[in-house]
Amino acid sequence: MILVVDTIVRGGSHVPFNSALLRVLRLAYPGDEIVMSAAGSHIAALMEEDGMEAVRVDSLDEDVGMHYGHLIAELIRREKPDSVVVSGCSAEQLRALRAIAIRRSDVSFDAFMHSELAEPAHWRSRNPLVRRKDMFGTIARGFPSNMRLVVLEYAIEQRLRTIAGRRQATAVFPHPLPSHAPRPAERGSGRPERQSISFIGGTFAIKGFNIFADIARAHGDVFDFQVIGERADHYSSADDWLFSVPPSDGKLKRAAFDHALEKTDLICLPLDGLRYSWAASGTLLDAIAFDIPVLTTRTAVTDDWESRYGVFGLVAGNAGDFAAIIQSVRSGHLSIDLSEEQTQARAAIAADRAESALAEKFALHGRTIR
């Protein structure tokens, strides 16, 4: 039996990832019962996704993050799983999970890391006592042999090993791509006359929205700019005039998200280079899934993609590079049309992250794929 636990998210957050993870586990281990335990609001959102009817769900209280160690231990006692999969872990929760894994050597543990590794990459306290208990300090102290750390990109695993050491069990579960995304030939014809440049996701500075907004101010007379995502607290509605599609007031439904992407010629994602060298970008992978030309920041992940798959899009080193590239497109010196080389690279990235492919190559810790 496989127990999947997520105490971090609420509502629709991380639904695409967690639903894909559950479908991959079902494909890889068809004979195992799979139980998903999470906050009730997240379970409700998950149940709207395809393939969830084969998963037994366990709705927890919304304050599920409290008393984490006791909760996990109780779930294991009650469900008696062979494998425990934890989707998202703080440093404190990793320490609690380590203590449980030491006591329960009969159970294997996979701790999936999302953006948690990116926080200490940006800043760590100078206090050695604090550093000992932050994410990097917790990982450096090691885990028992029945516990493994799982990251979502090959480049992130390489960085993780510099902290965890070679003896620590690690694995890569490449961030799944939405299987329903239409390829270019399938897209609708209702596209704007002007070339459309889109930003995906919430309007956060760490995702580079301020850079995108500045580009829209400078080139709105030539290009059509849209924001496919929700407005963050700091966003001012006075900027709505910059965009043919301004940010939404709430999280977009998948159908509306897909429809907006179908009308996009270029996705511009000026991501924080350091953060997204330690965290996978689901929004960047949406661009890959739809096979849309993309302009994004050079990171350890994009460098790894280029070495594995080839040139997949345009990469920029800093804010000035983004502005220069858009200016080159405007002047006609650079085309954003699909090239065969980039199309093949994006197809290879997508194939590596298809749910069926992941089910054939990703095995839970201590187990083989059936």
The 3-class SS string of the chain reads CEEEEECCCCCCCCHHHHHHHHHHHHHHCCCCCEEEEEEHHHHHHHCCCCCHHHCEEEEECCCCCCCHHHHHHHHHHHHCCCEEEEECCCHHHHHHHHHHHHHCCCCEEEEECCCCCHHHHHCCCCCHHHHHHCHHHHHHCCCCCCEEEEECCHHHHHHHHHHHCCCCCEEECCCCCCCCCCCHHHCCCCCCCCCEEEEECCCCHHHCHHHHHHHHHHHCCCCEEEEECECCCCCCHHHHHHCCECCECCCCCHHHHHHHHHCCCEEEECCCCCHHHCCCCHHHHHHHHCCCCEEEECCHHHHHHHHHHCCCCEEECCHHHHHHHHHHHHHCCCCCCCCHHHHHHHHHHHHHCCHHHHHHHCCCCCCCCC
Supply the pLDDT for residue 324.
Answer: 93
User: Considering the domain 2-176+355-361 in this protein, what is its CATH number?
Assistant: 3.40.50.2000
Domain with CATH 3.40.50.2000 in the chain: 2-176+355-361, 184-352
Rounded distance between C-alpha atoms, residue 52 and residue 47, angstroms: 6
Length reported for the chain: 370
The distance from CA 130 to its chain's CA centroid, rounded to whole angstroms, is 28
Supply the pLDDT for residue 121.
Answer: 86
271-132-142-8 Cα dihedral, nearest 10 degrees: -50
Enumerate residues 6+ apart whose C-beta is below 8 A from 232. Answer: 202, 203, 204, 209
Global pTM value: 0.91
Rounded distance between C-alpha atoms, residue 124 and residue 126, angstroms: 7
243 with 212: CB under 8 angstroms?
Answer: no
Its CATH architecture, for the domain 184-352, is: 3-Layer(aba) Sandwich (3.40)
Rounded distance between C-alpha atoms, residue 60 and residue 67, angstroms: 13
pLDDT along the chain (370 residues), means of 10: 92 89 95 94 91 90 77 94 94 94 96 92 86 93 96 96 92 84 51 82 90 94 93 84 90 78 90 94 89 94 96 90 92 79 93 94 88
Supply the pLDDT for residue 249.
Answer: 86
Enumerate residues 6+ apart whose C-beta is below 8 A from 125. Answer: 131, 134
What is the side-by-side order of every strand in the sheet holding 196-200?
224-228, 196-200, 266-269, 294-297, 314-316
Supply the pLDDT for residue 171.
Answer: 96
Rounded distance between C-alpha atoms, residue 269 and residue 16, angstroms: 20
Task: For residue 174, give both structure tokens.
Answer: 């490449």
3 with 72: CB under 8 angstroms?
Answer: no
